[in-house]
Amino acid sequence: MADLPILDLILFASGTFAAALVTGVAGFAFGIVAAAAWLHFLPPAQTTALIVAYGIIVQGISGWKLRRSNQLARLLPFSVGGAIGVPIGVELLHPISPAALRLAVGVVLILFSLYSLVRPQLASVRAGKAADGTIGILNGIVGGQPGSPGSSSQSGAPCGVGLVMSNAQPSSPLVSGSF
């Protein structure tokens, strides 16, 4: 990052601030907001590493505040699935051009925003730990992409939609971290 022009450094700091502000207000979306700025001057692999590092800090604060109400048995399938899916998502970075990735991030952001705005009533489903693990794997694959909902945390779009469909309580740490 030392060889970045001053304008790029200003954009980096501005994008980081905007992402932290959105996360503070909404509780999610650090990676996607940061990637919207960062992918214009950083390569996807470096953007991913920065999102993971910053995401651990941002989501770590939320996790620490919710530590007493976490249900480890409920979190385990999502976490194991995410650990399986992230390397797959990272491996998918190699053949993708930064321009195509920026477009994909923008499309995902718009679709997830529309979903969150409309918030359709989905039928309640209780599929069990295998389905939760599969959602975790999907979240991990998506999370392995820079700026995707789910980057560096288990609070991405696949987990969020899955938790809403499983009729999780809104006060649950699983749901409050998702939306």
* Interval 2-26: pLDDT, tens: 677 888 888 888 888 888 888 777 7
Model pTM greater than 0.75?
no
| Model confidence at 76: pLDDT above 80 | yes
Given a contact cutoff of 8 angstroms between Cβ atoms, the answer to whether 143 and 86 are in contact is yes
| Model confidence at 153: pLDDT above 50 | no
Choose among 1, 8, 87, 94: nearest CA to 45: 94
What is the average pLDDT score of the chain?
Answer: 74
d(CA 87, CA 141): 7
Q: What burial class does residue 80 get, using C-beta atoms within 10 Å of its C-beta: 0-12 exposed, 13-18 middle, 19+ buried?
A: middle
Angle among Cα 80, 60, 146 to the nearest 5 degrees reads 65
pLDDT exceeding 90 applies to what percent of the chain?
0
Choose among 130, 133, 119: nearest CA to 165: 119
